[in-house]
């Protein structure tokens, strides 16, 4: 059958772009993976319904859209931590609050959502479409508007194609797209455009952090820089408060090792901290997974540090998403 032959090559052909689509819809790498798996299960179960009138790709996107809409039904939107509460002082007691599970945007590896081969201009656009700020802004849209905007603006589908996918009219798609654009323009994203090339800055970030030269580290930050640390509700505003935190309650990060990783189209590092993981059953030697730092870089300095700590699941679960080792000797 056509469907069986096509799905035999599906993982290589469709999984990455479907994961990117579901991630933008859901704001979670784990949820996106679940959505794509469910899409494939439904596709196999309904294989006899595929008659070849539309492309297999379009048919899979139709199923993926319905899966995402089902998952979003009755669920609160995911958000950036700075949208979920006020900035807090850089003191240890600020760590007492935890965000509700599933309330924050989570990171995703570039290799899971960006094409392996693309021309530079296309790749630059796709990177922007998985930046954390953009994905967070998408979550402000109602689910169907979100799907329309992603399909039309990010994936460049024609309005007629989206209308067929959503079983609606071209006029309804254009109306939803206009409303989505207006809502997105009003979303709380007041930062200027992010820098495209931050290789040198990332190297200085790694060097200063590993030497724990905090005076040097804060020179890499904007004065009003922000640092968030999900799953903790705490987030800090200002280079001065970040410095105070790192020299005080956060000083346990001294002696960490960092590995550069490709995350959300942004400069990023994986931080391994010396000692035992706080959720480990037994003591360990070496360095253990601690957090993924995703950086927003504007005008040559860091505007925001998204520190996703490896504490929302079993030890190392977050790092496993990025193909990272469970420990550094």
Q: Where are the domains of the chain?
A: 76-140+187-329
Lowest-confidence segment of 7-21, 194-208, 259-273, 303-317 by average pLDDT? 7-21
pLDDT tens track for 64-83? 999 999 999 988 899 998 99
Higher pLDDT among residues 196 and 231, named by residue: 231
Secondary element (H or E) of residue 68: helix 56-72
The pTM assigned to this predicted structure is: 0.91
pLDDT above 90: residue 195: no
- What pLDDT score was predicted for residue 206? 98
Alpha carbon 252 to chain centroid, angstroms: 26
Confidence of residue 286 (pLDDT cuts 50, 70, 90): confident
pLDDT above 80: residue 289: yes
Secondary element (H or E) of residue 317: helix 317-320
Which residues in 30-49 are b (16+ Cβ under 10 Å) and which e?
A: bbbbebbebbbeebeeeeee
pLDDT above 90: residue 55: no
pLDDT above 70: residue 51: no
Q: Which of 192, 253, 251 is nearest to 222 (CA)?
A: 192
- What pLDDT score was predicted for residue 119? 84
Confidence of residue 46 (pLDDT cuts 50, 70, 90): confident
- What pLDDT score was predicted for residue 11? 41
Higher pLDDT among residues 236 and 286, named by residue: 236
Secondary element (H or E) of residue 36: helix 29-45
Q: Once rounded to an integer, what is the mean pLDDT over residues 10-27?
A: 88
Confidence of residue 315 (pLDDT cuts 50, 70, 90): confident
Confidence of residue 117 (pLDDT cuts 50, 70, 90): confident
In this structure, are strands 287-298 and 301-309 parallel, antiparallel, or unpaired? antiparallel
Q: Once rounded to an integer, what is the mean pLDDT over residues 145-165?
A: 96
- What pLDDT score was predicted for residue 275? 78
Q: Once rounded to an integer, what is the mean pLDDT over residues 300-325?
A: 93
pLDDT above 80: residue 2: no
Q: Once rounded to an integer, what is the mean pLDDT over residues 290-309?
A: 96
**Pairwise CA distance, residues 239 & 208, whole Å:** 15
What are 63's two structure tokens?
């199923």
pLDDT above 70: residue 283: no
Average pLDDT, the chain: 90
Q: Give percent of the chain with pLDDT exceeding 90.
A: 72
Q: Once rounded to an integer, what is the mean pLDDT over residues 152-179?
A: 96
pLDDT tens track for 239-267? 999 999 999 999 999 999 999 999 999 99
Q: Does domain 76-140+187-329 have CATH number 3.40.50.10490?
A: no
- What pLDDT score was predicted for residue 314? 84
């Amino acid at each position: 059958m056509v469907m069986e032959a096509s799905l035999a090559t599906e993982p290589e052909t469709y999984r990455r772009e479907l994961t990117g689509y579901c991630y933008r819809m859901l704001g979670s790498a784990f949820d996106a993976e679940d959505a794509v798996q469910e899409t494939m299960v439904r596709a196999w179960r309904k294989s006899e319904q595929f008659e070849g009138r539309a492309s297999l790709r379009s048919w899979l996107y139709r199923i993926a859209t319905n899966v995402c809409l089902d998952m979003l039904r009755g669920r609160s939107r995911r958000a950036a931590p700075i949208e979920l509460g006020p900035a807090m002082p850089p003191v240890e007691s600020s760590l007492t609050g935890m965000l509700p599970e599933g309330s924050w945007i989570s990171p995703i590896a570039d290799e899971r959502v960006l094409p392996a081969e693309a021309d530079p201009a296309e790749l630059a656009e796709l990177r922007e479409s998985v930046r954390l700020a953009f994905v967070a802004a998408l979550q402000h849209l109602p689910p169907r508007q979100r799907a329309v905007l992603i399909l039309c603006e990010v994936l460049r589908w024609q309005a007629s194609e989206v209308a067929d996918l959503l079983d609606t009219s071209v006029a309804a798609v254009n109306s939803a797209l206009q409303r989505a654009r207006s809502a997105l323009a009003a979303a709380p994203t007041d930062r200027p455009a992010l820098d495209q090339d931050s290789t040198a800055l990332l190297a200085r970030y790694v060097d200063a952090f590993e030497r724990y030269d905090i005076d040097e580290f804060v020179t890499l930050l904007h004065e009003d820089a922000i640092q968030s640390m999900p799953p903790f509700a705490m987030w800090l505003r200002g280079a001065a408060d970040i410095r105070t935190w790192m020299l005080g309650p956060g000083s346990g990060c001294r002696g960490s090792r960092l590995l550069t990783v490709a995350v959300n189209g942004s400069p990023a590092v994986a931080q391994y901290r010396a000692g035992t993981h706080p959720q480990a059953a037994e003591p360990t030697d070496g360095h253990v997974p601690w957090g993924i730092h995703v950086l927003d870089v504007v005008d040559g300095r860091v505007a925001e540090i998204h520190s996703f700590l490896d504490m929302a699941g079993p030890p190392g679960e977050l790092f496993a998403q990025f193909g990272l080792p469970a420990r550094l000797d």
